[in-house]
Structure 1
Amino acid sequence: MADRLHLDRFLPYLLSVTSNLVSDRIAQAYDALFGLSIPEWRLIALIAEHAPITQAQLGERSRMDKVTVSRAAIALTARGLLARAPNPDDRRSHHLALTEAGRALYAEVAPKAMEWERRIFGRFEAHELEQFTDMLRRIDAAAQEDH
């Protein structure tokens, strides 16, 4: 039967399983070392790069749903890591920025994140990583087209 599905060769499955494994390993480290969930870390990193930014913009950039972004933002604000300011362009939203404590946490976590990336991907050549990154972006674009 030529059309039979074999999960161990089905690329969407392999991509998902590998992605989950990498995310789970890193999530354990973020939680153990910094008390952060993956959504919370993603918000901190995105805000560090793009502040001021709204929750809606964070959702678009991270592709996390509104509820996940909202919960992470609430938790980070409660910990004193995020500050909210009125958005002069849209009174229904707020701009988010890292507080001094948030910037300090980012400065501590970012080098660790890059170290974890090196541990996982350091066994590959630079050109392989460039090709892989390019392929991921092309897969992303193709998945969006089919949506």
Structure 2
Amino acid sequence: MSTRKPAQRLADFLPYQLSVASNAVSTRIAEQYRKRFALKTTEWRIMAVLGDSGPTTQRELSQATLMDKVPVNRACKSLESRGLAQRTPNESDGRSHLLDLTAEGRAVHAGIMPLALKIEEELFSVLSEEERTQMRDMLARLRQNAGEFDAESLAD
């Protein structure tokens, strides 16, 4: 039986610590791609998903990023207006559209990834390779245990 007492303060609450650490890491990376590529965090997240998955609906982008549909819609419109993404009809349902990176968007994505990986290496240099592997595994298990979310529920 554990002798550890439950969190009595917010600072000791593990979900809070996880959120703060995530925000700190995201902010550190966001500074770089904002300076170099004039991208907001939501725009880069959308580009990262599109770079990994190819043509995707906005609903799927909301689900993949766990972001509300309004910021996803704004980010998609911004990426389109900058010529980094393009929208095409979704032939599988006829109602939605698919968003995909343009050639310029793929070039920006290719320029950001090495930078993001360099920052990842710097940030996580305090952990051994084994600890990094364990952390990835733990985060994946936590994410899975949190369950699935409908894109509409993210606005609440």
In the superposition, the TM-score normalised over structure 1's length comes to 0.91
How many pairs were matched up? 144
Task: State the 1:123 CA deviation.
Answer: 2.6
Instruction: Return the match for 2:32 from 13, 29, 32.
Output: 29
Q: CA deviation at 1:7?
A: 2.7
Between 1 and 2, higher relative CO (CA 8 Å, sep ≥ 6) is seen in 2
* Moved segments of 4+, more than 3 Å: none
Larger mean CA deviation between 135-144 and 69-78 belongs to 135-144
Give structure 1 stretches of 5+ with no counterpart: none
Rounded Cα–Cα distance in structure 2 between residues aligned with 1:8 and 1:86: 47
Question: 1:71 maps to what in 2?
Answer: 74
Give CA deviations for 1:74-125 in whole Å, capped at 9, x if unaligned. 0000000001111001121111111111011011111101111001012311
Quick one: which of 137, 143, 146 aligns to 2:146? 143
Q: TM-score, normalised by structure 2?
A: 0.86
Q: Give ranges in structure 2 of 5+ residues lacking alignment.
A: 149-156
Alignment partner of 1:73: what SS? helix
Alpha-carbon RMSD? 1.5
Identity %: 44
Letter in 1 for 2:87: R
Corresponding residue for residue 82 of structure 1: 85
**2:51 aligned residue (48, 51, 54):** 48
Partner of 2:8: 5
